Structure 1
Amino acid sequence: MGPATPATVVRQGRRRANGALESEVLAALQRAGAPLTPREVQATLPGELTYSTVVTILSRLHGKDVLTRTPRGRAYAYAPVADEAGLAARRMHKVLDTLPDREAVLVRFVDGLTAADELLLRQVLSGRVFP
């Protein structure tokens, strides 16, 4: 098999897109519950990701404002800025921020909710449920 392209990395005979690798790295950081250096992240992941690949993924996630980083020795230690629910909420806000008609998007979103999710949303909005 030839060398990996920038968009994919070979892991245990399979090719993984960068999005899948980013998800794996983010999940590893969330499981850790504490900031990790690239070497520590590399050690927690299955397969054979190179150190430079892990650094690249962490740098990209930091550039997307998904991770914070603080100096630790000669490297940075990375941590998620939020849990999975927080990250999903940030993605939803980013989508809303890019569209001119927020009202239409929100109306269509609510129209697509199940009855149970609509009830939960109503409770959250009325202050009866707190995350």
Structure 2
Amino acid sequence: MVRGLGELESAIMDRMWATNAPASVRDVLEHIRKDRPLAYTTVMTVMDNLHTKGLLKRKPVGRAYIYEAVSSKEAYTADVMRESLARSGNRAATLVHFLERLTPEEASALEAALQVCPPRGRSQ
């Protein structure tokens, strides 16, 4: 099950996705402290929780861990979208409502994506 992220979890994951490189708790803390004061242990606990949720992988380096995102932000977002659709009860109606709300730019992006990856069972 894909879980939504809290505010601090989102900030940490955004940082991990943006850098797309392994990072220590201290690396992430230094970046996030620019926006708000946080304790090292708070960031450490949240990154441990993100590891437990399967969003971060880690390896020990000395007495600490180095963390890395398991997947891209886009892959995570796709998982959240698929889970929301699965919980909707009426997938067709949910998709219709979703499509009705697309901006022209989003509709163009959807059309381009369908050219790259057509729905299963259908060919272009």
Fold conserved between structures, TM > 0.5: yes
Cα shift at 1:92: 0.8
In structure 1, what is the equivalent of residue 54 of structure 2?
65
Give me the CA root mean square deviation.
2.6
In structure 2, what is the equivalent of residue 103 of structure 1?
92
In structure 1, what is the equivalent of residue 113 of structure 2?
124
Three-state SS of the structure 2 residue aligned to 1:82 is coil
Separation of aligned partners in 2, 1:123 and 1:27: 25
> Deviations along 1:50-76, whole A, 9 cap, x unmatched?
121011111222233322222323322
1:76 aligns with 2:65: yes
Uncovered stretches (5+) of structure 1, i.e. residues with no partner: 1-17
Uncovered stretches (5+) of structure 2, i.e. residues with no partner: 118-124
| Shift >6 Å, 4+ stretches | none
Percent of matched pairs sharing the same residue: 33
Separation of aligned partners in 2, 1:87 and 1:63: 15
Separation of aligned partners in 1, 2:79 and 2:55: 9
Output aligned runs, 1:1-131, within 5 Å: 19-46=6-33, 47-127=36-116
How many corresponding residue pairs? 112
| TM-score, normalised by the number of residues in structure 2 | 0.70
